Amino acid sequence: MGSQHTDIYINPQAHSWHHDANTDRRIRHFHQRLPGFTPTPLIRVDSIAKELGLKYVFVKDESHRANLPAFKILGASWATYRAVTRAVGLSTDVSFEVLADAASEKVIKIFAATDGNHGRAVARMARILRIQADVFVPSNLEQATRDLIAGEGARVIVADGDYDYAVQQARINSEVPNGILIQDTAFEGYTEIAQWIVDGYSTMMIETEEQVREATGGTADFVIAPAGVGSFAQAVVSYWKSRPYPCSVMAVEPDSAACLKNSLTKGEPITIATENTIMAGLNCGTVSSIAWPILQKGVDISVSVSDREAHEGVAQFKALGIHAGPCGTASYAALKHIAEQHSKDVQSLNPDSTVVLFCTEGERGYEMLDRKKEGLL
């Protein structure tokens, strides 16, 4: 059972927990077929390591992944490809062109809900396969983000509610002949495609492990992942807790949408009401049902950060030449928060630590919603 302070949750049992996972090597080969695909850089930031008293700090920079400004294409592309090949009865080594022709003949239609990058990634893959996509978005999603999704050729439908409501609407509307829901959260009756999305993120994990070894001759001791519905965090835990060496995992959320931290504290998955945040891609009120069992056992530390902390991280990363959005700097905000306020509570974070920050989002426009409240005035 975990212990918690007011702002963090610590699970001492997670350090020794091991996850049996077999990575499907077909996935990385598949990703190499995507237009513009190359491994993303792992950037060594010695100034942060020195500031926080750590051996190495690396940023896995996902600000550009296959010509999109976020990592989501890794999961969305693999899941869409798997789902469409199954729907048309083709194998998982078929070319995009052949699959597109088969999908057109069967009039496949894709549905998804998003608070940003997932929907754009699904729309991009649908465009590659020449499939119509309907993407449902919460009512508070910025117009600029809606326009980016529409720019991929998708039809953007504004749901009259929050992210969870948009997911419900996408699910309901997908229940048509040859309709396929590509969603990065699992719920009752919907797990397989959500798991394929998680599986798609394994490419990033393999790249990161190889890059850390090349840079240091060793392995990561501590990795930090943003958590919205928890699918990416699930991928991080699944991979790093399956390695033959110990590695601590910290999950970070907005303090206005900390559904994972609240669920861990409660000891069971709960749905919470969320508020607006500049970390729009993490503004989720319910943990994915397939992520929960793994996160409950494998997350060493769960922490939430404020918009102010994420916003400051954007400026600090920019000074280092890393052009990230606030979801991307949440990992750094969490590391700084823990190192400065809870170093005695987190023994696995020490002067010998090699830390990886997963920066999951490129630079984008946003507005601080209440600058006075966030301490910026």
Catalytic residues: 72, 115
| CA pseudo-torsion sign 375, 140, 156, 225 | positive
Q: Say if strands 155-158 and 132-137 run parallel, antiparallel, or are unpaired.
A: parallel
- Angstrom distance (rounded) from CA 70 to CA 117: 7
- Angstrom distance (rounded) from CA 130 to CA 114: 20
